[in-house]
Structure 1
Amino acid sequence: MINSDLKISDLDEQAIMGAVRGGIRSGRLPETTIREDISTILEKFNLLHEGKLNNAAAVLFGRNFYYYPQCLLRLARFKGTTKDEFIDNQRVNGNIYNLLDVAMAFFFKHLSLSGKIEGLYREEELSIPYKALRESCINAFCHRAYHRPGSSVGIAIYDDRVEIENSGTFPLDMTIDKLLSGHNSEPQNLIIANVLYKSEVLESWGRGIGLMINECRRVGIPEPEFHTDGNAVWVVFHYIQNTVGQNPTVTPQLPHSNPTVPPQVEKVLTTIGSKILATKEMMELIGLKDKSNFLENYLYPAIGLDLVEPLYPENPKHPRQKYRLTEKGKGLFKQQ
């Protein structure tokens, strides 16, 4: 829907260019796109037509959500297996790219890391596979009902499961059985889905459910459950009880390495040290080019272990966002 009150200046230009870089990296956008002006890029994303933006532009790249209260993510960590007592409770407004980062950082904060030795290094993994959780969140943001002002995406972590919920329903004629048996992709919000695909957030059309199932099978936890009541859709991931939020027991990888910290996180600690660094600066110092790899395996685990903190925790995509060591992180850094 066209929104005549929405201006290009209301959008996060850095987020737009980040999406472009993702599209170029994946080969879904031509390299020349990086040199185009913002208006041209928005037109190619079908977010701008005859000089007017649509609401999908705000959902994807907005900065101010006063008029978009439904751009909301609810995050809760409950004690036990019921909603009787909160351990953590947050509500964050933001665009899809912001909220996806917030969601994944929340998982690293409240789900335990476990690992196995692969060669000289230990491969760390969340209680529920990162790719499965991320895909479920992407689906929730992509396919939810945005026309309801009071709606949102919700993440609830219990001692035995994670539930990811979004407002909305399945497409017409789509049932859970059809969903699980393989189906043609039917995005509820085609423009949003197309931008997420072009920017490499959506890996491919119609394969998300299979990816979630295969990832859970790979690590030996139950396959995810899919539910709907006509007003909302939610996914349930079960895992071994009493593993949530515990400090991982880690076998030392190399001499002098900290026995409770994965080597990738150690790298983040030594890179930041006494400095305050942006994501790009850390990647350059570590020698990484793949931002997704850096976020998944380096930065998010460091934040989840309470060793690194953002300067602007309520706005992950803040134009001046940088990271520093927490007091806990400083203590470990001094031991190295």
Structure 2
Amino acid sequence: DNKQAHMHAFAMVREAIAWLDRTLPLAAHFPKGSVFREDRQPVPAEALREVILNAVMHRDYSRASSYVAIAVFDDRIEVRSVGDFPTGIRAEMLSGDHPSILRNPLIAGAFHRTGAVEVWGRGTTRVIEACLAHGATPPEFSEQAGVVTVTFRAAVGPEGAEGPSWHQVGTKLALSKHQAQLLEIASDPMSLQELMQPSGRTDRTKFRDQVVRPLLEAGLLEMTIPDKPRSPNQKYRATPAGVRLVQRGRE
């Protein structure tokens, strides 16, 4: 998906957040002590919102070609804003208390007066706190060639765990809600039609290409008749790695 937006600052922030809501995959999560599943994005919405606000407020509008861009990859989300770090500010300082230097005080003031921004100088630390509370990896801050980039990477499971963790698979595959749903029900062999029913999807080709094939390639799902992929008797089941993944997600 590729979208360009040219509008006032408040509408731009709203549109960017709405676009991410439509674009980002959902991963299944089982809160500790609960048997109920939650579907949530790999990065908390409040962290993305804060970074987008900062990108708009700190953009260098004196450059005719300046922009704010959001890019979603399989393993990361990048928010880029044209404009160097303010004088005296380095990337490593953003993970703690640091001076608040406003590049565009009128724009920042407008966001502050509407309540979109509450406290100066704590935006990046709030982003880090939100990520940690969500179980996501805190973002990386960098500046190169006059462009500041904030990179969110999906959280990974405990080091040394056997097999892929839920977040590791989500990172590599951008695990969707329907993929997570499929792995949960495919402990026994099931036909493609049976796998499709819980999702409500009806296009067999798209379901096979978008949901089933990535899981097969990742070794989380297997065919019961692998030498005849198109067999009318073909069924699918979760591999031991896929089963472990679901079990670990429930812990």
Shift of the alpha carbon at 1:173?
Answer: 1.1
Equivalent of 1:232, from 147, 150, 153?
Answer: 147
Residue ranges of structure 2 left out of the alignment (5+ in a row)? 155-166, 185-197, 201-251
1:246 aligns with 2:182: no
Letter in 2 for 1:131: E
Q: In the alignment, what sits opposite 1:91?
A: 4
Amino acid at match of 2:21: F
- Alignment partner of 1:113 out of 26, 37, 55: 26
| Per-residue deviation, 1:242 | 3.6
From the CA coordinates, give the structure whose radius of gyration is larger.
2
Relative distance call for 1:246 and 1:191 in structure 2 (3 A) is same
- 1:260 and 1:183 mapped to 2: Cα distance? 47
In 1, are the aligned partners of 2:76 and 2:153 still within 8 Å (CA)?
yes
**CA–CA distance in structure 1, aligned partners of residues 6 and 175 of structure 2:** 25
Partner of 1:185: 100
Equivalent residue runs for 1:1-336 within 5 Å: 88-114=1-27, 115-116=29-30, 123-239=38-154, 240=167, 241-242=171-172, 244=174, 246-247=176-177, 249=180
Q: Report the CA distance between 1:142 and its aligned residue.
A: 0.6
In the alignment, the residues of structure 2 paired with residue 120 and residue 204 of structure 1 have an alpha-carbon distance, to the nearest angstrom, of: 37
Asked if 1 retains the 8 angstrom alpha-carbon contact of 2:59 and 2:83, the reply is yes
Distance change in 2, residues 1:260/1:219 (3 Å): farther
Which residues of structure 1 form unaligned runs of 5+?
1-87, 252-258, 262-336
Measured at CA, do residues 141 and 216 of structure 1 come closer, stay the same or move farther in structure 2, by a change above 3 Å?
Answer: same
Please tell me whether the aligned partners of residues 17 and 49 of structure 2 are also in contact (alpha carbons under 8 angstroms). Answer: yes
CA distance in 1, matches of 2:173, 2:130: 18
Cα gap change, 1:120/1:204 in structure 2, threshold over 3 Å: closer, same or farther?
A: farther
Indicate how the Cα distance of structure 1 residues 221 and 120 shifts in structure 2: closer, same or farther if over 3 A, else same: closer
Once residues 181 and 204 of structure 1 are traced to their aligned partners in structure 2, the CA distance between those partners, rounded to angstroms, is: 14
Matches of 1:95 and 1:125 in 2, distance apart?
29
Give the direction of change, closer, same or farther, for the CA distance of 1:244–1:99 in structure 2 (3 Å limit).
farther
Inter-CA distance 91–211: structure 2 relative to 1 (3 Å threshold): same
How many Å separate the matches in 1 of 2:199 and 2:14? 24
Question: Normalising to structure 2: TM-score of the pair?
Answer: 0.60
**Structure 1 counterpart of 2:176, one-letter code:** Q
Q: TM-score normalized by structure 1? A: 0.46
1:127–1:243 contact (8 Å) kept in structure 2 = no
Over aligned residue pairs, what C-alpha RMSD do you find? 2.6
2:30 and 2:38 in contact (8 A); partners too: yes
Whole-Å separation in 2 of the counterparts to 1:164 and 1:211:
16
Output the amino acid matched with 1:182.
D
Q: Distance in 2 between matches of 1:149 and 1:121?
A: 50
Give me the whole-angstrom Cα distance separating, in 2, the residues matched to 1:201 and 1:212.
14
Pick closer, same or farther for the CA change 1:119–1:245 going to 2, 3 Å.
closer
Q: Which amino acid aligns with 1:144?
A: R
Check the 8 A contact 2:74/2:172 in 1, yes or no. Answer: yes
Shift of 1:230: 4.4
